[in-house]
Structure 1
Amino acid sequence: LLKRLPFQRLVREIIKDSNNNLRVQATALNALQEAAEAFLVNVFKAINLSAIYAKRVTI
């Protein structure tokens, strides 16, 4: 769902802005991306159900 490089840049920028001297492994970035995508899928599923219940075509 999300493109890999923009997501990685976002995560690295957030970590940099937190004033911590942290490094992130590639596997951790992949896990964060998978979790973020799963979260967004669930949010959009709930939004879609709400739209269907309200007899709307779009969310």
Structure 2
Amino acid sequence: KTTELLIRRLLFQRICREVTIDIASKSSSSEATEAFLILEFEVSNMLAIYTKRVTLQQKDIVLCRWIRKRFLGENNGKDDF
């Protein structure tokens, strides 16, 4: 039975710093993914509304991706429709 710390202070600080950095990077990655998906669904929904439909269909998302690739140059390594 001792009152001394079981993990040295510098080691504990380094571990805390690594965990904090890992959490921050995952959080920003999650936020970017969420923003991308929200924009994708907003534009796809606008396409569905433009064609006088209320329900979003797969063809709306496909068209949204095609427009983004064709006119905004976002290719992501694929050239197909």
Q: Give the TM-score normalised by structure 2.
A: 0.43
- Equivalent residue of 1:36, what SS? helix
- The one-letter amino acid paired with 2:37 is L
Correspondences of 1:1-59 after superposition (within 5 Å): 25-59=22-56
In 2, Cα distance between the equivalents of 1:48 and 1:57? 8
* Percent sequence identity over aligned pairs: 42
In 2, Cα distance between the equivalents of 1:57 and 1:35? 27
Match of 2:3 in 1: none
- The structural deviation recorded for 1:57 is 1.0
The structure having more radius of gyration, on CA atoms, is 2
- The structure, 1 or 2, with the larger RCO (C-alpha pairs under 8 Å, 6+ apart) is 1
- Equivalent residue of 1:44, what SS? helix
Aligned Cα RMSD in Å? 1.2
Structure 2: tracts of 5 or more residues without a match = 1-20, 57-81
- The one-letter amino acid paired with 2:32 is A
Structure 1: tracts of 5 or more residues without a match = 1-23
- Equivalent residue of 1:25, what SS? helix
